[in-house]
Structure 1
Amino acid sequence: MSIFSSFLPSVRESWLLCAGALFMLLPEGALAQGRLDAQYEASLAGIAVGKGSWTIEIGDDTFSAIAQGGTAGLLKAFAGAGGMGGSQGRVVNGALVASGYTVNYNSYKKSEIIRMALGGGGIKETVIEPEPPVDPNRIPVTEAHKKNVYDPMTGSLLRVPGTGELMSPDSCRTSAGIFDGRLRYDLKLDFKRVEMVKAEKGYQGPALVCAIYFTPIAGYIPDRPVIKYLAEARNMEIAFVPIAGTRILIPYRVKIPTPFGLAMLEATSFVTSATPPRVAKTQ
Structure 2
Amino acid sequence: MIRTSLVAAALLASMAPSMAAPVDARASYVLTLGGINVATFDVDLNDDGRRYELDLSAKVAGLGNLVASGTARVVAKGASSGSTLASGEFDLETRANGEVFTVDVSYSGRNVSAFKVEPPVFESYDRVPVERGHLRGVGDFLSAFVVKANGLDKSLCNRKLKIFTGVERFDIAMSFAREDEATSPRTGYQGPVVTCNLDYQPISGHYTSSEITNYLADTSRILLWYAPLGNTGYYIPYRVLLGTSMGDLSMVLVGTKT
Asked if 1:260 corresponds to 2:249, the answer is no
Shift of 1:91: 2.8
Change (3 A) 1:265 1:201: closer
Contact residue 114 and residue 126 of structure 1 kept, 8 A:
yes
Shift of 1:134: 2.0
Partners of 1:130 and 1:51 lie apart in 2 by 26
Asked if 1:174 corresponds to 2:159, the answer is yes
Change (3 A) 1:168 1:90: closer
Shift of 1:267: 1.3
Contact residue 34 and residue 245 of structure 1 kept, 8 A:
no
Shift of 1:109: 5.6
Gaps of 5+ in 2: 1-17
Partners of 1:93 and 1:189 lie apart in 2 by 21
Partners of 2:84 and 2:180 lie apart in 1 by 28
Contact residue 62 and residue 68 of structure 2 kept, 8 A:
no
Partners of 1:264 and 1:257 lie apart in 2 by 8
TM-score (norm 2): 0.85
Tell me the residue number matched to 1:13.
none
Shift of 1:93: 4.3
User: Looking at CA atoms only, which structure, 1 or 2, has the larger radius of gyration?
Assistant: 2
Asked if 1:185 corresponds to 2:170, the answer is yes
Gaps of 5+ in 1: 1-28, 274-283
TM-score (norm 1): 0.78
Asked if 1:48 corresponds to 2:37, the answer is yes
Shift of 1:92: 3.2
Aligned partner (choices 110, 124, 127) of residue 135 of structure 1 = 124
Q: How many residues align?
A: 241
Partners of 1:59 and 1:261 lie apart in 2 by 40
Where 1:231 maps in the other structure, the secondary structure is helix
Aligned-residue identity in percent: 21
Aligned partner (choices 63, 82, 92) of residue 52 of structure 2 = 63
1:212-231 equivalence runs, <5 A: 212-231=198-217
User: What is the alpha-carbon root mean square deviation over aligned residues?
Assistant: 2.4
Q: Deviations over 1:158-192 (max 9, x none)?
A: 233xx4xx222233111121010111000011112
Change (3 A) 1:133 1:170: closer
Tell me the residue number matched to 1:120.
109
Asked if 1:196 corresponds to 2:185, the answer is no
Asked if 1:245 corresponds to 2:231, the answer is yes
Contact residue 35 and residue 244 of structure 1 kept, 8 A:
no
Tell me the residue number matched to 1:15.
none
Where 1:65 maps in the other structure, the secondary structure is strand
Q: Which has the higher contact order (CA 8 A, sep 6+)?
A: 1
Shift of 1:260: 0.7
Q: Deviations over 1:51-110 (max 9, x none)?
A: 11111112122211011112227659x822211001012333454332211000111063
Partners of 2:94 and 2:59 lie apart in 1 by 10
